[in-house]
Amino acid sequence: MGSPDPKLIALCAAPMHGVARVLNVDEDGACRIADVGGSGEQQARRAVSCLVMPQAGDTVWLAGDLSHGLYVTAVLERDPHCADGAGRVMLPADAHVESANGRMTLQAESLKLDGHELAVQARSAAVAVDKITGIGREATWSFQRVKLIADAVETFTDRLLQFAGWSQRTVSGVDQVRARHIDYRADEMMQLQAQNLVANAASLVKLDGEQIHMG
């Protein structure tokens, strides 16, 4: 077995960089590229600093060597006729995006957040939208105080349960309840007071108590 050729070792370790074209990208993100200094097709991996996922037909910038491998460090240009879908930014696992001592703005014509879990934590939050729609299986809110101001509130539900230690409601107009059965119960006292009180029943009116005072 002969000794390694020093020229071949130097050639493999020589830095390489230049412009190349992506032929295809496999599921793991490895790229098959062409036109690397006229040396034909090569395999290249996406560098961690290359946040934009390469696509077939992209013009990219390569760096590396044949000994350690080639890396796609940047996507220079994208051919809209060859691109396979919209641009995609890919971050490493457990990525953290931070703007220290400043503001960060995400702006788009349409913005979508998609994930298995979503957590928002802040000292204060403000939401201003013309219309909001929420669809889910279960919602839990825990607030010390809630204040709602609206022109109209509509609630449609199969079952409504409310538990409160103290409740007060003020209605300046008409307060109307329509139901098949209504059951009001008080442990100590119930008071009905009005300028005019009307009680109508089609079949039966029953008053039951140890004492009944009328008039």
Assign residue 34 the CATH number of its domain: 2.40.50.140
Q: What's the token pair of residue 3?
A: 């000794």
pLDDT for 93: 85
Confidence of residue 196 (pLDDT cuts 50, 70, 90): very high
**Structural domain boundaries enclosing 50:** 16-77
Question: Does residue 206 lie in a domain region?
Answer: no
CA separation for the pair 36, 61 (Å, rounded): 10
pLDDT for 87: 79
Confidence of residue 27 (pLDDT cuts 50, 70, 90): confident
Tell me the per-residue pLDDT of 111-164, one tens digit each, with 9 for 90 and over: 888 888 888 888 888 989 898 888 888 889 898 899 999 999 999 989 999 999
The pTM for the full model equals 0.61
Question: Does residue 156 lie in a domain region?
Answer: no
Question: Does residue 143 lie in a domain region?
Answer: no
pLDDT for 177: 93
Question: Does residue 149 lie in a domain region?
Answer: no
Question: Does residue 138 lie in a domain region?
Answer: no
Q: Give 82's DSSP letter.
A: T
Question: End-to-end CA distance of the chain, in Å?
Answer: 122
Question: Does residue 70 lie in a domain region?
Answer: yes
Question: Does residue 1 lie in a domain region?
Answer: no
Q: Give 11's DSSP letter.
A: H
Q: What's the token pair of residue 157?
A: 């539900």
Q: How many domains does the chain have?
A: 1
